[in-house]
Amino acid sequence: MAESRSSKERLLRFAKGPGPFIIPAIVILLGMRAFPFFWQFFLSMTNMRLGTEGSFIGLQNYRFIFSNPSFFQSIGYTMIFLIATVAGQMLIGLALALLLDEDFKGKSIYRIFFLIPWIVSGLVVGILWQLMLVETPFGLLNALLIRLGRSPVAWLSVASNARVSVIIVYIWKGLGFSMILLSSGLKTVPVELLESADIDGASYLQKLIKVKIPMMKDIISVNLIFAVIASLNSYETVYVLTSGGPGGATSIIALLMFQTAFGDRSQLGRGAAIGVIMFLINLILVLIYVRKVRFGKGVTA
Amino acid sequence: MRGTISPLRFRKSLISHAVSLLAVFIFAYPVLWILLASVKPEVQIYREPLRLFPSVWDFSIFSRLFSSAPIATYLANSLLYSIGAVVISLSFALCAAYGLSRHQFRGKQLLLILILVVQMIPALVTVIPLYLLMKTIGLYDSRIGMVLLYSALRIPWGIWILVGFLDQIPMALDEAAYIDGAGQWTILQKVILPLAIPGLASAAIFTFVGTWNEFAIASIILRSTENLSIPIGSLAMIAADPNDWRLIAATATVNLLPVLAVFSLLQKNIIAGLTRGAVKE
């Protein structure tokens, strides 16, 4: 009895205190963010198409997806795409962060320029690089190659080239974010450690590998997880650049979901199954982040 | 010896500048090129593609763009969606952040974690249920629906930024106001809100730019010309005229300029907010 009274009291206290402030936001989040996650699980087990109700078909969508060669092609490219874009963004981002960690005039202006691609919308990045990579002689990169006396390249119409081109575009777009995060990480490395490494006669590379990178472990993990999530869930740039072609060669998983659900055959149920798979991958990444980074060291809110 | 630059340091800073300039070229040249392509005489785009600055500045494409296409409508819609999302999402987020920052209650930590998880999983993975949801509640392809959806999707992020911010405002201020007889809503309005303005401003910038640039969800929710946002409308225009590079460049410029303006004015806040959003200080 005492137990139930105290919980009633707690409820009353919540209703008089934080309740009215928190509950409206929570209701909206439940309806618009949480409910769609659950609904999608249900949708993924139907054969719903645009304009039809669809009926329950159990795990057939998943069975289809996991036996379908075009899905495997998409998963395969998505993996390569994720590894290459994230590695490229982080390595070049680190190089630029180290550059801006040096002491020279005007570096804050350079930093602004390095960030420009990150602020540009995914659509404009797609349009921009479409014009850069167009295969006629007036495409920018081919014009440059011709000027240098080389022959033009089929940047987007040959599968293997298109795969690399898409990766380069995403590295170009995303590395400003890595640069900023890693820059702020470099600032947290204690000067005393670097000075004592200097006294021991450590080279630049040794200081980087033995002192700076270990000290930046946390921020590197944050960067890694954010970059993977950003690449995994990107859609419009590759949609504008290649629409997943040629022949599905650059169809990353987010694009495959859109095209399955809203393309010619508009298979919403099957698209939802891809959505569920993407949701689970995202969830794992987020949980790692929450556990290790945000709440790992007894951080209290 | 102070004031003189040693040759070694001089050489080092020279290398730093050289590498920086190369990087600036790679990052800024394409963006600058597309901005300037819109004001070049058309032949120069095709005859001298590598040329950056036009020989003659010709702004006629913009009058053509605004007279022939509904781009003014797209711009107005995008402004509505972005500002609507800023105002609505931050109102709800500020209230929730107040409740979470100023009160202790059971399950608060769990609630914060759940909000973070929901925030970090992109809404893009639920585009199919969101599409069906908007159809079911009759808000598919409507301006109000788009504002509400964008606002709802942005709330968790706003809560996280603002909780971190409000936690730094001393509780003593609340208590002083409480002793003077102020209720919670008064405290939120009169004490917290004025002090939270820097945090709100930083959250507003990100919400505005994020909504302005959003493509994936809008491409599914909006159909009619009069409702399209600027990215969706732009793509429709380009698809209708895929070989007119000057028109494409002008369209991209209209997309880009507001964002570049916001960025150049507020880059310090943006860079600080970027780090704060990812790492808890």
- Provide DSSP, B227-275: G--HHHHHHHHHHHSTT-HHHHHHHHHHHHHHHHHHHHHHHHHHHHHHH
**ipTM of this complex:** 0.88
Closest-CA residue of chain A to B51 = A140
> Treating both helix axes as pointing N-terminal to C-terminal, what angle do A268-288 and A253-262 enclose, rounded to 10 degrees?
150
| Nearest-CB residue to A301 (from B109, B124, B245) | B109
For residue A180, how many C-alpha atoms fall within 13 Å in the half-sphere facing its CB?
Answer: 27
| pLDDT at residue A225, as a whole number | 93
Asked if B259 has any chain A CB less than 8 Å from its own CB, the reply is: yes
| pLDDT at residue A208, as a whole number | 86
Chain A residues near residue B219 by CB distance under 8 angstroms: 236
Q: How far does the CA of residue B213 sit from the closest CA of chain A (Å)?
A: 5
Q: Which region, left, alpha or beta, applies to residue A131 given φ > 0 means left and ψ of -120 to 50 means alpha? A: alpha
Helices in A134-216 by DSSP H: which ranges?
A: 140-147, 159-187, 191-199, 204-207, 213-215
| pLDDT at residue B278, as a whole number | 64
Report chain B's mean pLDDT, rounded to a whole number.
88
Closest-CA residue of chain B to A174 = B27
| B281 pLDDT more than 50 | no
| Distance from C-alpha of B115 to C-alpha of B92, rounded to nearest angstrom | 13
Express each pLDDT in B55-113 by its tens digit. 888 888 888 888 877 999 999 999 999 999 999 999 999 999 999 998 888 888 899 99
Cβ-based contacts under 8 A for chains A and B? 267
pTM: 0.89
Express each pLDDT in B193-230 by its tens digit. 988 888 898 889 889 999 999 999 999 999 999 999 99
Express each pLDDT in B113-141 by its tens digit. 999 999 899 999 999 999 999 999 999 99
| pLDDT at residue B5, as a whole number | 63
| Distance from C-alpha of A38 to C-alpha of A65, rounded to nearest angstrom | 20
Closest-CA residue of chain A to B235 = A123
Chain B residues near residue A25 by CB distance under 8 angstroms: 92-93, 95-96, 155, 159
Closest-CA residue of chain A to B218 = A236
| B280 pLDDT more than 60 | no
CB contact under 8 A, B122 and A229: yes
Parts of chain A with a pLDDT under 70: 1-5, 295-301
Express each pLDDT in B142-194 by its tens digit. 999 999 999 999 999 999 889 988 988 888 888 888 888 888 888 888 888 98
| Distance from C-alpha of B209 to C-alpha of B263, rounded to nearest angstrom | 9
* Amino acid identity for residue A300 in this structure: T
